Chains A and B, each alone.
Chain A
């Protein structure tokens, strides 16, 4: 295998790795600061309910967590996620994409 072929294959491999990790993710796990009141958290579900890529939202005050289930082959950008949570009155600490389902995330939160 010559160098050119090797470079092409390497480029294809890197493209595959980085091209669409978001479409493999089933949920977003977002760590949030300021989540201490259920009445005030009403706006989180209302905001994400309007997003076409969102199937369901789980909020846990105990875990400071907003988990967002994505519809198949759909995604929501980190920028929009952060904007929606900021508009709801909260501060986003970290966004993580995961293949875990919302049920799995909810079960993990209930176990803690």
Chain B
């Protein structure tokens, strides 16, 4: 492997701003989270405040390209999210979240007001992570749904004062695009209580990265 790939990954990580749809939409009461995400055709950023563990408000942006007739999409939005249900088990936690938002959009089909709605289902233990995220964006004459499915595994169970390390397989799909195949990706995930970092590549060798910070 040449140096070009890791340098490109670092450059994208340093310069990209995006929201990871797989970041939890709601955290803990009083929590603030900044999320930055890059996928091959989708960049997002989001700042979330959770006044309660049941709901949150966010401001964010999304940039996507290779969207077929829409060509590209640029969205700045406000969003509210709700924890529909949580299952706190002795060795696991599962969640269902729902969110919706509105914002200013710019696309190949013109500018205007856009809306979106999303759903996240996840289940995790200290060794296994699974999640399904689906987010639908619509505007005047266009509609795209961004889906992500994840399966993660940790070689060792982490704890609060140790850095966690995971291997995560991702499947990503965007509707109404030039290429509607499910794209696979492999990322390495590292996190502590304050920060979370993912980096990897999809099956075409294009880099992905996510960064989250707890305040």
A interface with B by C-beta (< 8 Å)? 32-47, 59-62, 64, 86-91, 93
Contact = CB atoms under 8 A, between A and B. Distances in A.
Interface of B: 24, 27-31, 52-53, 86-93, 124-126, 157-160, 162, 164, 191-196, 212, 214
Q: Chain B interface secondary structure, helix, strand, loop or mixed?
A: loop
B28 A42 contact: yes
A40 B86 contact: no
A87 B27 CA distance: 10
A45 B162 CA distance: 15
Most buried by B among A33, A36, A87: A36
B158 A38 contact: yes
Contacts of B87: 34
A35 B126 CA distance: 9
Nearest to B29: A87
Contacts of A36: 91-93, 124-126
Contacts of A39: 164, 191-196, 212, 214
A43 B31 CA distance: 7
10 closest pairs, A vs B, by CB? A43-B28, A34-B88, A87-B29, A91-B88, A33-B88, A34-B93, A42-B193, A89-B53, A42-B214, A88-B28
A18 B134 CA distance: 55
B159 A38 contact: yes
Given A33-B89, A61-B159, A89-B53, A47 B30 contact: yes
Contacts of A45: 193
Nearest to B91: A36
B126 A61 contact: yes
Contacts of B52: 87
Contact of B27 (A32, A40, A64, A86): A40
Contacts of A41: 160, 193
A20 to B, nearest CB: 31
A61 B31 contact: no
A62 B88 contact: no
Nearest to B214: A42
A102 B164 CA distance: 24
Given A33-B88, A40-B24, A61-B157, A87 B191 contact: no
A61 B158 contact: yes
10 contacts: A32-B88, A34-B92, A34-B93, A39-B194, A41-B160, A59-B160, A61-B157, A62-B157, A86-B53, A89-B88
Given A33-B89, A90-B88, A47 B29 contact: yes
A59 to B, nearest CB: 5
Nearest to A39: B191
Nearest to A84: B29
Contact of A43 (B29, B88, B125): B29
